[in-house]
Amino acid sequence: AQRMATFVGRVVAHSGGRVNDHAAVVGVARGLSSFEGLLAEVASHPSWASWDPYAACVADRTSDTPSVGMAIQKACHDTWFDCANIPEQCKESVWSKADYVLSVYHNQVAMGDASGAGPLSTCYFNGSAIFAESAVH
């Protein structure tokens, strides 16, 4: 149950939250039988975690620049947003460019996402992005 609780914590972090009651997470982890069940639990914003209303899709700083560059390309290709219109202040580095592009992508795609997977389906990019708490961005 402890390893699953750690995994639950990671899913919460990738969903813009932070676990604040570890014992409750262990209990939830014991009752999980599927990944879909975990996603449904996290999507309900349970009280054992705090949820940042200002969380945003940004480049994961533990990723590497080539992967982040590929995420930018995918996001620019897969949305209506014209990446030629990125504000100048967001072009200073691959990280600031990715933060802007990935956030725009997530906001556009999340509005039409009926899967219930939340940020894990609209803000992941093979590990190059994270739906992070505002303290991170």
Per-residue pLDDT tens digits for 80-122: 889 999 999 999 999 999 999 999 999 888 776 656 557 888 8
Same domain, 109 and 61: yes
Quick one: CA torsion of 11, 13, 17, 22, rounded to 10 degrees?
Answer: 80
Range of the domain at 22: 2-51
Regarding whether 126 and 95 lie in a shared domain, the answer is yes
Higher-confidence residue of 35 and 116: namely 35
Query: In terms of domains, do 90 and 25 share one?
Result: no
Q: How far is residue 79's CA from residue 104's CA, in Å, rounded to a whole number?
A: 9
Statement to judge: residues 67 and 10 lie in one domain: no
Angle between helices 65-77 and 94-111 (to 10 degrees): 40
- Structural domain includes residue 137: no
Domain count, the chain: 2
Residue pair 70/97 in contact (Cβ under 8 Å)? The answer is no
